[in-house]
Each structure stands twice: as C-alpha cells, then as structure tokens.
Amino acid sequence: MNRQPGKFDMISLIFTFLGGLLLLFIIAPLVGMFVTTAPIHVFDAAKETEVQRSIWLTIFTSIVSTLIFSIGAIPLAFLLARRKFVLKKLVLGIINIPVIIPHSAAGIALLGVISRDTTLGRIADYLGFSFVNNPAGIIVAMAFVSVPYLLNASIEGFNNVPERLEKVALTLGASPAHVFFTISLPLAWRNILTGFIMMWGRGLSEFGAVIIIAYHPMITPVMIFERFNAFGLQYAKPVTILFILICLVIFILMNIISGKRQNA
C-alpha cells in the first residue's frame, strides 16, 4: 500500500524529533545568551572605541584574507578539477589538513614559518613590517584555516561545468585563458561565491591560530576570550552578542547579493 503524500509515518516522526533536538542544541545557547543580557549592555559595548576597532579589524582582515588567497585558490581548484596527475589524491588530502588539525597547532606551525627569525620573517622585516602581532599575521592565520572551504567549493563548481563546452571553444580557436574567463569561471561562479562566503565566515570566527601569531592588535574573538578570562561571563556577553549580530547582518546581506547575482 502506497503512503499518501504529506502523511507522516513513524520514521518521519522520529527524524523530525531528532532533527528538532539538534536545532534546539544549536539555537538554545544563542537564545539564552540574548535573553540573559540586557540590551543596554550591548549598546554600551558598541560605544567602546576598543570594541569598534576590534570589530572593524576582524571584518577587514577576514575580507582581505579571502580576496588575497583566492588569487591562488581558484586557479588551483581549476587544475584539480580538470587535470589528472600523479599524487593528485595526495594534493586533495593536503588542502583539507587545516580543517582537521587543532587550530592552536596551526598557529604554532605558521609561527615556525613567519616568525622574525625565519626567512619570510626576515623578508617582512626588510620590507618594514612583521607578521607577529600585526594584521598581516592575522590575515595569514585566517587564510590558513579557511582556504579549504573556498578550494573545495571551487573544485565542485568546476567539476559541474561540462568539459565539452570548453573543448568546443578550444576547437573553435579560443585560447585557454579566454575559455577559462568566459566559460569555466562564469559557469562555476555560484559555487565559487559560496566558497568565498564560507571562507570569509570561517576566517571571521578564527581564534586559535590568530592568538598564537597576533594577540595584538586584538580581533574580536580574542577580545571576547580576554574579557571572559579577566572579568567573567557577564562582561564578555555584550561584545559576543554585538559581534554575532554584525556577522549575521553581513552574512545575510552577502547571501542576498549572491542570490541576486545568481538569478541575474
């Protein structure tokens, strides 16, 4: 006997219950934090110059990190989607390493490459800056832990582009660069844009790698940690809520913009 469309069976009820518990697990801590914090405290936190600078620094470094490292991530994703070569599976595994290792360990690993006594550190010092306790170090730390999201989304996007379209264009005399910028990239753009948003969001929330490399200047996740350690939960909550609200607004706006571009 066929089940009528829209009619719940036992397995659907169980799945709904389990899914509801998971949603509650995600929502309850956030709702609880908002309910137990007076709005005036959030407004007071928003007026603090230190908080404002921290939030702007966090947004700025996460955006710059995403834009700079996308210059290498998108071409690499295209090669991994289109080329077959020895050790390709190894490369695909390597690009996901930052996702699975502890981010404090990622910060220590990065510090071994960009600290003042390393080659890159000396080059940076020669150019008049340092990665340690500098926005440049924050950008590198954010990129290291977040670039796999852009890479994986871009690879999926290029895999979804029919290769026959590229081959036809090449047959008709188009250069590989022309094919990439007029066919491959535009058709994969939806996934790439999703990767941009995911990479930006992951970088925005990074704490472990950043605090190893650049405790100062202080991004907002580090500031929240410092206030919690120094003054306790109630003092950290207003900044946390303010940062969450700003991130949500930016994230929603970016999704609206990306949706309009995809429908254009």
Q: What is the pLDDT of residue 8?
A: 61
Distance from C-alpha of 168 to C-alpha of 179, rounded to nearest angstrom: 10
Task: Note the pTM of the prediction, 2 decimals.
Answer: 0.88
**Which positions ≥6 away from 137 have C-beta within 8 Å?**
114, 130, 131, 210, 213, 214
pLDDT higher than 70, residue 10: yes
The count of structural domains within the chain is: 1
Average confidence (pLDDT) over 237-253: 89
Q: What is the pLDDT of residue 3?
A: 57
Distance from C-alpha of 212 to C-alpha of 141, rounded to nearest angstrom: 9
Please report which confidence band the pLDDT of residue 192 belongs to, taking 50, 70 and 90 as the band edges: very high
Token pair for 8: 């719940």
Q: What is the pLDDT of residue 169?
A: 92
Residue 137 belongs to a domain: yes
User: What does the mean pLDDT of the chain come to?
Assistant: 91
Residues 161-176: pLDDT tens digits? 999 999 999 999 999 9
Neighbours of 245 (CB within 10 A): 13
Token pair for 206: 């990074």
Range of the domain at 237: 40-263
pLDDT higher than 90, residue 251: no
Please report which confidence band the pLDDT of residue 6 belongs to, taking 50, 70 and 90 as the band edges: low
Residue 107 belongs to a domain: yes
Residues 56-112: pLDDT tens digits? 999 999 999 999 999 999 999 999 999 988 889 999 999 999 999 999 999 999 999
Backbone angles phi, psi at 132, to 5 degrees: -75, 130
Q: What is the pLDDT of residue 149?
A: 95
pLDDT higher than 80, residue 254: no
Residue 33 belongs to a domain: no
Contacts 24+ apart (CB under 8 A), 88-95: 95/147, 95/148, 95/151, 95/152
Nearest Cα to 199, choosing from 94, 70, 55?
70
If you ran DSSP here, which 8-state letter would residue 226 be given?
A: H
Maximal C-alpha separation, the chain? 77
pLDDT higher than 90, residue 7: no
Please report which confidence band the pLDDT of residue 253 belongs to, taking 50, 70 and 90 as the band edges: confident
Please report which confidence band the pLDDT of residue 188 belongs to, taking 50, 70 and 90 as the band edges: very high
Nearest Cα to 155, choosing from 182, 183, 188, 126?
188
**Which positions ≥6 away from 134 have C-beta within 8 Å?**
214, 217
If you ran DSSP here, which 8-state letter would residue 115 be given?
A: S
Distance from C-alpha of 29 to C-alpha of 31, rounded to nearest angstrom: 6
Residue 10 belongs to a domain: no
Residue 27 belongs to a domain: no
Distance from C-alpha of 109 to C-alpha of 198, rounded to nearest angstrom: 23
Instruction: Write out the H or E segment, with its range, that includes residue 54.
Output: helix 49-82
Residue 147 belongs to a domain: yes
Residue 187 belongs to a domain: yes
Q: What is the CATH number of the domain that holds 90?
A: 1.10.3720.10
Q: What is the pLDDT of residue 76?
A: 96
Report the amino acid identity of residue 257.
Answer: I
**Which positions ≥6 away from 18 have C-beta within 8 Å?**
none
The percent of residues in the chain predicted with pLDDT above 90, rounded, is 76
Token pair for 219: 């991004």
Residues 97-154: pLDDT tens digits? 999 999 999 999 999 999 988 999 899 988 888 999 999 999 999 999 999 999 999 9
Q: What is the pLDDT of residue 28?
A: 94
